[in-house]
């Protein structure tokens, strides 16, 4: 694994970092951030400000809150000015302050990956990846009444779990950035993510009781494998929890899939991890792995029985 150790963040200051939340959480966010600056002066290199979520930002935050999500960051350019917005959700403010700091540093890892253009070529392929939704649903669209009734749910399934394959390198590198630059909070980052993934893994098959459950389970498996790549130096109990959760996900997959189908998912997992291990291969090869996965998992009516 390559190094993301940094001595300065001055090279990130060309993009305006916006920290956004609801008005009722504004004071807590400002206090949290100022404490982070005191603990990690390197963050003072960033060009940042706070903004109350209004308009489009509030609509996005409403969706994230409705889905019970943690903070989410993305580019948000306005009038040729490069901006990156991190939306801090209600669930975030329910965490203890130490965990909030760890989560914030992880989101800053995503900002670092974006601003250094580490995955630029892969990100340029994201629109084509989203367009592959039409391939994903090409068979079930033959029943237009059912499809039109289910389209919104299918779109969420695709965006949240299938398209998620293209986000795996970003997750790995954001975590690596935290591990190499804020070592004392990395275990907290891993513990927080494991808690989130464990909740999803234990409850997803009570919500989706068909073969469709393979998509969210596989998304969790890939994210867990991404953590596993960074386990050197991490406490044994965290490693043990990760291995147990991986075992649970594969066991649940086996309830819905044949052994030969499990083998294909295992092969895809190995390929995703291989090409995600460096920015060069992620940029060059991951989209092809993703396209092959979508073409091999086009939805069929039998998947819903």
Q: Where are the beta strands (DSSP E) in 53-188?
A: 72-75, 83-87
Domain that holds residue 280: 120-304
The predicted pLDDT at position 29 comes to 97
The DSSP symbol for 210 reads S
The alpha-helical segments, DSSP class H, found in 158-234 are 168-181, 183-207, 214-228
Q: What is the chain's pLDDT, residue by residue, as a tens digit (305 residues)? A: 788 999 999 988 889 999 999 999 999 999 999 999 999 999 999 999 999 999 999 999 999 999 889 999 999 877 667 899 999 999 999 999 999 999 999 999 999 999 999 999 999 999 999 999 999 999 999 999 999 999 999 999 999 999 999 999 999 999 999 999 998 899 899 999 999 999 999 988 888 889 999 999 999 999 999 999 998 867 677 888 899 999 999 999 999 999 999 999 999 999 999 999 999 999 999 999 999 999 999 999 999 88
The distance in angstroms from the start CA to the end CA of the chain is: 42
Per the CB < 8 A criterion, the answer to whether 279 and 169 are in contact is yes
Cα 172–Cα 175–Cα 180 angle in degrees, nearest 5: 120
Same domain flag for 152 and 221 = yes
| Surface-to-core class of residue 193, CB atoms within 10 Å of its CB (0-12 exposed, 13-18 middle, 19+ buried) | buried
Query: pTM, whole model, 2 decimals?
Result: 0.94
Helices and strands counted in the chain (H then E): 14, 4
Does residue 134 sit in the same domain as residue 150? yes
167 and 22 part of one domain? no
Report pLDDT digits (tens) over 108-143.
999 999 999 999 999 999 999 999 999 999 999 999
The β-bridge partners of 43 are none
The answer to whether residues 178 and 299 belong to one domain is: yes
The answer as to whether 3 is a domain residue is no
Query: Domain for residue 232, yes or no?
Result: yes
Burial 152-171 (b: 16+ CB within 10 A, else e): eebeebbeebbbbbbbbbbb
The helix, strand and coil proportions of the chain, stated in percent and rounded to the nearest 5, come to: 70, 5, 20
In terms of domains, do 231 and 91 share one? no
CB atoms closer than 10 angstroms to residue 216 = 22
> What pLDDT does residue 79 have?
67
Q: Which segments of 208-258 does DSSP mark as H helices, in order?
A: 214-228, 236-256
CA gap 9, 299 in Å, rounded:
44
Digit-coded pLDDT (tens) for 278-297: 999 999 999 999 999 999 99
- Say if 254 falls within a structural domain: yes
Same structural domain, 154 and 290: yes
> Any idea which residue has 């779109």 for tokens?
155
Provide the number of structural domains found in the chain.
2
Assigned domain for 96 exists: yes
Q: What is the pLDDT of residue 93?
A: 97
Residue position matching structure tokens 């800053």: 108
Helix (H) or strand (E) holding 52: strand 48-52
C-beta separation of 243 from 261 below 8 A? no
């Amino acid at each position: 694994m390559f190094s993301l150790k940094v001595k300065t963040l001055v090279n990130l200051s060309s993009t305006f970092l916006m920290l956004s939340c609801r008005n009722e959480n504004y004071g807590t966010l400002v206090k949290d951030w100022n404490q982070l600056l005191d603990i990690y002066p390197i963050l003072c290199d960033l060009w940042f400000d706070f903004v109350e979520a209004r308009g489009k930002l509030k609509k996005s935050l409403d969706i994230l809150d409705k889905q019970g999500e943690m903070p989410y960051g993305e580019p948000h350019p306005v009038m040729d000015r490069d901006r990156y917005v991190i939306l801090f959700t209600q669930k975030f403010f329910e965490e203890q302050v130490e965990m909030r700091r760890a989560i914030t540093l992880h989101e800053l890892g995503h900002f670092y990956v974006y601003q250094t253009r580490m995955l630029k070529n892969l990100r340029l392929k994201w629109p084509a990846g989203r367009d592959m939704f039409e391939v994903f649903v090409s068979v079930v669209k033959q029943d237009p009444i059912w499809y039109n009734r289910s389209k919104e749910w299918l779109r969420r399934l695709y965006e949240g779990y299938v398209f998620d394959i293209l986000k795996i390198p970003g997750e790995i590198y954001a975590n690596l950035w935290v591990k190499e630059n804020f070592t004392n909070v990395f275990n907290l980052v891993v513990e927080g993510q494991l808690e989130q993934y464990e909740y999803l893994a234990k409850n997803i098959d009570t919500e989706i009781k068909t073969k469709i459950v393979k998509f969210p389970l596989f998304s969790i498996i890939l994210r867990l494998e991404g953590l596993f790549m960074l386990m050197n130096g991490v406490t044994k109990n965290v490693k043990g929890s990760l291995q147990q959760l991986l075992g649970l996900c594969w066991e649940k997959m086996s309830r819905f899939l044949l052994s030969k189908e499990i083998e294909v998912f295992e092969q895809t997992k190995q390929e995703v991890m291989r090409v995600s291990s460096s920015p060069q291969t992620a940029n060059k090869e991951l989209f092809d792995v993703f396209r092959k996965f979508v073409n091999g998992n086009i939805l069929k009516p039998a998947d819903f029985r």
